[in-house]
Amino acid sequence: MKMIRAILHTTFISTDLARSRVFYEGLLGLQPDPKRPHMNFEGMWYDVAPGQQIHLMLLANPEVGLTRPEHGGRDRHVAFTATDLDKLIRRLEKSGISYTLSQSGRRALFCRDPDDNALEFIGQD
């Protein structure tokens, strides 16, 4: 019997919320969810799709000094669909954010947010 039906949110640590907001709101176009409750630490919630969210938590990075693989596909990551992968590529390049293309041959790319969290974007255009 399958016990898991969906992923409701994924959480990333942010050491600088203002910097993270530029990435998630400015570059990716996500909007904060004002309905989420306040917690005993700062953070930000973003709606990705109905019932699916990203939660940024303002906390010290427990992995300072950890070396991450250059290709995000070789690191723990979360995958999102992207409605316009070419537009995302232009935004990443304009912002100076490096990315790598999927090594599987799929139309997808990997990049990292300002706190080195690996993100995958799969083209659905």
Q: Is residue 89 part of a domain?
A: yes
| 1 is a domain residue | no
29 domain-assigned: yes
> How many beta carbons lie within 10 A of that of residue 16, not counting itself?
11
Residue 89 DSSP class? H
Instruction: Tell me the C-alpha distance between 21 and 19, whole Å.
Output: 5
Domain contains 116? yes
DSSP 8-class letter at 68: P
The answer to whether residue 82 sits within a structural domain is: yes
Q: Is residue 2 part of a domain?
A: no
Number of domains in the chain: 1
Per-residue pLDDT, 70:
87
Question: What CATH number does residue 77 fall under?
Answer: 3.10.180.10
Has residue 4 been placed in a domain? no
pLDDT band at 125 (very low <50, low <70, confident <90, very high): low
| Domain housing 37 | 9-61+69-123
Token duo for residue 6:
């969906």
Q: What is the pLDDT of residues 102-112, one digit of tens each?
A: 988 899 999 99
